[in-house]
Amino acid sequence: MERIAVGVAAAGDTPGWQSLVSTLFDWKPFPARRRMDGAESLSVHHFGFFLVCHMTGVTGRFRRTPIRLNLDDLDHLVVTIPLQGSLAFCAPRPQRLRPGDVAVADLRGELAFSMGPGEAVHLILPRMFLPASVAPPDISELRLLRGERLAARFLIDLAQMLIRMPAYADRGEASGLAAVLRTPLAFCLAAAEGPETARETLRRGRDIRRFIEDNLGDPDLVPAKIIARFGLSRSQLFRQFDSAGGVETYIRRRRLRRTLVDLADPALSSRNIGEIAYAAGFADEAHFSRLFRATYGTTPRAFRKGGRTGIRPGSREAGAAAPQPAERLLSWLEQLRDA
C-alpha cells in the first residue's frame, strides 16, 4: 500500500511536512507553538479510492482561501476525526471538535481550522466515489456528527483501524476494502447534521459532473447539450469548470481516464483499442492515441502491455529519483479526482 510519512525533528524543521500540507492548505504556526516532544508526524495512506491522513502533534492554522480554490479542481470531502486534543473550525462556521466528534467539510469551499497538540485523522474522499442514492446532495456547509451518534462511532473506529494497517499491505486488497466501504461511508456522511438549505451552485456542479460521467460514451456530448439539459447560460456552465480549464477540457480528461481504466481491466483484454476509444466517446482512434500519449507519456498499446508488468503512466525507471512527498500527494489527489 502506498504511503507518505514525514516527521518533524525540531520547531524550526518544518519544510517536509509543511510542503505536504501546502498541497491543500495555507499554513501558519501559532505565535508560541506548543509541541509534542518527539511525536510530530504526518502520514498519508493511499487506499485507491480515498486517502487517510494521520497527523500527530502538527499544530497551527490551516486555510483554504478563494485564491487556493481557484488553483485546483478538487471535488473532495474531508472527514476530520480528532483522536486526542481538539480542533477549532473558524470557517465555514465556528465549531469546536473534541475526541468523539466528527466533522465533514467540502474542499470546494472556503475552510479554516486550527489544531493544537494532539492527534487527528482526516479522510479525503472524492465526491464521485460516494453513491448518489445514499450521500447527501452536497456538503456546502460544515456538518457535524457528535460522539453519541452511531455514525460517528463507526467513522472513529474505522479511522483507527485504517491507520493501524501495515504499510506493506497489498494495494489491491486496500482498494478492494475501500470499494466495500463506499456505501457505509456515504451513509455516515448523510447522517451528519447541516443547514436545511445548500448552495445551488455546488449542487448544480455535482449534477452536471454526474451527467457528464453517465454520458461519456456519447460523441455528441458538447457544451450545448449540457446547457439545454440543465437550463443554463453558456457563462454559467463555463464558470462551473473555470478551475478545470473549461468544460470541454474536463470532458476530454474524463474520457481519457475512462480509457485508462478500461485498458487496465483484464476483463476487457479481448477488446481492441479502437473499441475502447469509441466507447469512451472518441470519434477517431488516431486522435485518441495522440491525446493519450500527450497526457500519460505512453501509447495506449504500450500502456496495456505494461499493465502485465506493473508499468503505469508516470512510473519511474529503475534508479530514478523518488518523487518528493508533496509531489506524490498532489498526484494522488489528482488520481482521486479522475478516478
Distance CA 238, CA 232 (A): 10
Answer whether 105's CB lies under 8 Å from 62's CB.
Answer: no
Does one domain contain both 251 and 213?
yes
Does one domain contain both 276 and 170?
no
Question: Where does the pLDDT of residue 13 fall: very low under 50, low under 70, confident under 90, or very high at 90 and above?
Answer: very low
- pLDDT 10s digits, 162-185: 988 876 677 778 888 888 888 888
Does one domain contain both 91 and 166?
yes
Structural domain includes residue 334: no
Does one domain contain both 234 and 172?
no
> What is the total count of domains within the chain?
2
Does one domain contain both 69 and 215?
no
Does one domain contain both 59 and 135?
yes
Does one domain contain both 174 and 214?
no
Distance CA 168, CA 89 (A): 34
Does one domain contain both 159 and 19?
yes
Structural domain includes residue 150: yes
- pLDDT 10s digits, 213-229: 999 999 899 999 999 89
CATH number of residue 74's parent domain: 2.60.120.10
Answer whether 57's CB lies under 8 Å from 93's CB.
Answer: no
Segments forming the whole domain that contains residue 141: 3-190
pTM: 0.62
Structural domain includes residue 315: no
Does one domain contain both 40 and 146?
yes
Does one domain contain both 175 and 250?
no
Does one domain contain both 234 and 178?
no
Contacts of 243 (CB under 8 A, 6+ apart): 69, 70, 71, 72, 73
